Amino acid sequence: MTRLAGLIDMDLVGFDSPELFLRYSRRDESSCLILNLHCHDHEGFIQQCRLAAEASPPVVFICGHEDVAAAVRALKSGAVELLTLPIDPIDLAEAVLTAFALDRRQRRHRAARESLRQRHELLTPREREVLPLVAKGLMNKQAAAVLGISETTLQIHRSQVMRKMQADSVAELVRIAATLHIPVWSDTDSDTGDFPSLELLATLRDRWS
């Protein structure tokens, strides 16, 4: 590991067990977890697989040649890379840099989701009812009928939703709703009219991504 630190400008922190790592207060910067696979310690192996599955931070596994079968199972849990002993420092450095890049992307995505969640909390209960209707693609008259309010009132709520969620278009609102896992409104949720059959929210999100 000291050779790795010489190849990459990074700090190394050692842990004797997964429990010690979980109690560690992680700094707000890119990182990865390098695990020496404990294939012969079933409980430890399960803990390591769980850490890899959570992927925060991303995991790089190291194992002996005789442990490859179990290591493949661990790799399927979500680890970034699997390296066998003896370790080539260059291979390890490349794996760590890949993990760092993944960690940066995951951190950005988590920050973006948290920002959207905070915006959603600013909505009033009525505005939270309006959002999935607008994201579904209902016209103002249709959405107003679903909620039993006037079209003018619906337009006011819709404007507030777009403003508070910082959405410049319905397509952007669809992406936001999908990111926050807001349930899509279904025609079967209301008996106020024969509304058009539209594609699912996730499909719309993919189309406009």
The CA-atom distances, in angstroms, between 171 and each of 57, 89, 92, 199 are 32, 46, 42, 13
Contact by Cβ (8 Å): 183, 141: no
Q: What is the DSSP string of 29-86?
A: S---EEEE--TT-HHHHHHHHHHHHHTSS-EEEEE-GGGHHHHHHHHHTT-SEEEESS
Across 137-153, average pLDDT: 93
Residue 167 sits in a domain whose CATH number is 1.10.10.10
Report the pLDDT averaged over residues 66-81: 75
**Which is more confident, 107 or 66?**
107
Mean pLDDT calculated for residue range 144-171: 95
Segments forming the whole domain that contains residue 190: 122-208
Between 28 and 36, where is the model more confident? 36
**11 and 37 both lie in a single domain:** yes
Give the pLDDT score at 87: 83
Average pLDDT over residues 9-16: 78
**Any domain includes 140:** yes
Q: Determine, yes or no, domain membership for 185.
A: yes
- Of 110-119, 144-153, 181-190, 200-209, where does mean pLDDT reach its minimum? 200-209
- Whether residue 132 has a cis bond before it, omega within 30° of 0: no
The answer to whether the CB of 201 falls within 8 A of the CB of 178 is yes
Mean pLDDT of 7-32: 77
pLDDT over 70, % of the chain: 79
Q: Scan for tokens 């630190």, then name that residue.
A: 5
* 91 and 130 both lie in a single domain: no
Helices and strands per DSSP (H, E), number in the chain: 10, 3
Reading phi first (left if > 0) and then psi (alpha if -120 to 50, else beta), residue 184 is in: beta
Tell me what pLDDT residue 192 has: 41
Please state, rounded to an integer, the average pLDDT across all residues of the chain: 80
Beta-carbon neighbour count of residue 82 at 10 Å?
Answer: 19
**Is 117 contained in some domain?**
no
SS3 182: coil
Q: Which of 86, 110, 134 is the last residue of a domain?
A: 110
Distance, in Å, from the CA atom of 165 to the CA atom of 176, rounded to the nearest integer, reads: 8
Residue 38 has pLDDT above 80, yes or no: no
Q: Is the pLDDT of residue 200 over 90?
A: no
Establish if 115 belongs to a structural domain.
no
